[in-house]
């Protein structure tokens, strides 16, 4: 039994990778959105606090400067207004009682962010309150600050997201594909069999399919080598006799009766060789014609042609042949020549191996679900149950004197497989062997 290669990937992502990748992308998208929202909210909160503290501090310093200037000019409001214009902010002066003595708005800042603060100033007429209004931050400076911080934050966030996604994709897809490619290379370079995996996603199924394919190829190569060796053995035996008899025929002074006997033996051995070669040619021919043209035929028509083909010939040899079609109107696609060969091989196999005193053959055709089923049965001795799965193999034979099988049943299996069907065998309760061939039925 082949060992399974455990997958060490990310647990729940190891099955149905295509759907899990979609889920992963959605999770990453939601996580990225949440991270960006959290980042911007944190940034805006921090920025607002810092901007507020900076505005308050700047406005307070400006109020102290304005109060000091007003004291220095002795309360000259005209001179104070000129100074304010040059500084770029506005101010108002009020008495303790709230009487407004001076008021000048900041030039060019009727709209925008401003900050205010006040400071006391001692004038000859008494103490007054100097309130100032200054710009908090220029528009370009605000835009540049927010853009710069947002760019850095998004860059860092995207790097983290893409790095995580790249790591997951590499571990889930790239690394297994690379390992599978190396496994394929080891197989075709050194013949190392690939291992199966319990990973249930598309990549796991691909590796298991490759492992199954490698097993099938190995078994086919082994079977082909054994078949070639068996055919060589079967041909070599009669060929050795042919060579021996032909050498004797070349001997001088050979009596006429011996010469005729040797010639008869050479002919019989040549016929045996020809039989083996023809059977092997049929086996190869069916394998090469898996794409043979198919024709539309009803079950009744196929059964009628089989009865016409074999009934008279079998009757002459004392073999009974009965055909019953229970689904005459059902249609199927088939190649008549191949189906004729299929049933001909079954008939020949029964005649050769059934072992019945009076052989009787029957063919029943019926509909089972979406299939047309052909049941071919004889009244012979049947096949031991433990050998039923082997009789369709190209190397199986019940004749212990031969190494190569009669390839007839193997050819039958190839024909039905080429038609998209399946073939099996089972023993009948009353004795005899039954071959079941199921072909796809067409809708009426």
What Rg value do the Cα atoms of the chain yield, rounded?
Answer: 49
Residue 227: the pLDDT is: 67
Residue with tokens 């023993």: 427
Residue 298: the pLDDT is: 93
- For CA atoms 63, 64, 66, 70, the dihedral sign is positive
DSSP state of 161: H
Picking from 314, 323, 387, 324, the residue whose alpha carbon sits closest to that of residue 351 is 314
Residue 282: the pLDDT is: 65
SS3 content of the chain, % helix, strand, coil (to 5): 55, 20, 25
Which run of H or of E encompasses 274? helix 256-288
Q: Which residues contact 370 (CB under 8 A, 6 or more apart)?
A: 440, 441
The CATH number given to 295-440 is: 3.30.565.10
The Cα 12–Cα 37 span in angstroms is: 28
Picking from 130, 86, 90, the residue whose alpha carbon sits closest to that of residue 106 is 90
CATH class of 202-288: mainly alpha
Residue 256: the pLDDT is: 84
Q: Which residues contact 200 (CB under 8 A, 6 or more apart)?
A: 14, 15, 16
Are β-strands 320-325 and 360-368 bridged in parallel, bridged antiparallel, or unpaired?
A: parallel
The Cα 251–Cα 261 span in angstroms is: 14
CA dihedral 81, 83, 88, 90 (to 10 degrees): -30
DSSP assignment of 173-217 = IIHHHHHHHHHHHHHHHH-PPPPEE---SHHHHHHHHHHHHHHHH
Exposed e or buried b per residue across 381-420, where buried means at least 16 C-beta atoms within 10 angstroms of its C-beta: ebbeeeeeebbbebbbbeeeeebbbbbbbbbbbbbbebbe
pLDDT in tens, the chain (444 residues): 344 444 444 444 445 666 666 777 777 777 777 877 777 777 767 777 777 777 788 888 888 988 898 888 888 888 888 888 888 778 888 888 888 888 887 765 544 556 778 889 888 878 888 888 776 666 666 677 777 777 777 777 778 877 877 787 777 777 888 888 888 888 878 878 888 887 777 777 888 888 888 888 887 777 677 667 767 767 777 888 888 878 888 888 778 888 888 888 888 888 877 777 776 766 666 554 455 678 899 999 999 999 998 888 888 888 899 999 999 999 999 888 888 888 988 888 888 887 778 889 999 999 999 999 999 999 888 888 877 777 777 655 555 444 444 567 878 888 888 888 999 988 888 788 899 999 999 876
Picking from 305, 309, 302, 306, the residue whose alpha carbon sits closest to that of residue 331 is 302
Residue 326: the pLDDT is: 93
CB 95 within 8 A of CB 122: no
Residue 291: the pLDDT is: 55
The Cα 151–Cα 144 span in angstroms is: 10
Three-state SS at 334: strand
Q: Which residues contact 155 (CB under 8 A, 6 or more apart)?
A: none
Q: How many whole angstroms from its chain centre is CA 98? A: 84
Q: Can you read off the two tokens belonging to residue 220?
A: 């086919």
Q: Which residues contact 89 (CB under 8 A, 6 or more apart)?
A: 62, 106, 132, 133, 134, 135
Q: What are phi and psi of 89, to 5 degrees?
A: -140, 170
**Would you list the domain boundaries of the chain?**
1-196, 202-288, 295-440
DSSP state of 443: P
């Amino acid at each position: 039994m082949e060992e399974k290669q455990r997958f060490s990937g990310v647990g729940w992502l190891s099955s149905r990778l295509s759907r899990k990748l979609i889920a992963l992308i959605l999770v990453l998208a939601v996580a990225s959105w949440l991270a960006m929202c959290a980042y911007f909210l944190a940034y805006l909160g921090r920025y607002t606090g810092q901007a507020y503290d900076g505005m308050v501090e700047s406005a307070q310093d400006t109020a102290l400067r304005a109060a000091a200037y007003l004291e220095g000019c002795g309360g000259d409001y005209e001179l104070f207004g000129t100074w304010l214009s040059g500084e770029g902010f506005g101010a108002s002066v009020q008495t303790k009682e709230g009487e407004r003595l001076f008021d000048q708005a900041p030039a060019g800042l009727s709209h925008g962010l401003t900050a205010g603060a006040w400071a006391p100033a001692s004038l000859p007429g008494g103490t007054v309150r100097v309130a100032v209004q200054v710009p908090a931050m220029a528009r370009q400076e605000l835009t540049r600050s927010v853009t710069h911080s947002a760019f850095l934050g998004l860059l860092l966030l995207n790097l983290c997201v893409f790095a995580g996604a790249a790591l997951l994709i590499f571990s889930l897809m790239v690394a297994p594909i690379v390992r599978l490619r190396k496994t394929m290379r080891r197989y075709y370079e050194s013949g190392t069999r690939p291992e199966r995996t319990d990973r249930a996603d598309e990549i796991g199924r691909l590796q298991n399919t490759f492992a199954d394919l490698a097993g099938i190829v190995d078994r086919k190569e082994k079977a082909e080598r054994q078949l070639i060796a068996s055919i060589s053995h079967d041909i070599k035996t009669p060929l050795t006799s042919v060579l021996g008899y032909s050498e004797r025929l070349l001997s001088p002074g050979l009596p006429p009766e011996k010469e005729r006997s040797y010639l008869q033996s050479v002919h019989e051995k040549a016929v045996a060789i020809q039989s083996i070669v023809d059977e092997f040619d049929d086996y190869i021919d069916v394998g090469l014609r898996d794409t043979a043209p198919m024709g539309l035929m009803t079950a009744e028509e196929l059964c009628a042609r089989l009865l016409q083909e074999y009934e008279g010939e079998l009757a002459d040899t004392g073999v009974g042949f009965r055909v019953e079609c229970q689904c005459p109107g059902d249609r199927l696609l088939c190649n008549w020549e191949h189906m004729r060969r299929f049933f001909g091989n079954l008939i020949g196999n029964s005649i050769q191996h059934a072992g019945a005193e009076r052989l009787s053959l029957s063919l029943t055709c019926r509909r089972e679900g979406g299939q047309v089923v052909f049941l071919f049965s004889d009244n012979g001795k049947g096949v031991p149950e433990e050998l039923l799965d082997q009789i369709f193999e190209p190397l199986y034979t019940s004749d212990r004197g031969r190494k190569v099988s009669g390839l007839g049943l193997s050819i039958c299996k190839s024909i039905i497989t080429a038609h998209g069907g399946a073939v099996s065998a089972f023993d009948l309760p009353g004795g005899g062997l039954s071959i079941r061939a199921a072909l796809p039925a067409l809708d009426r």
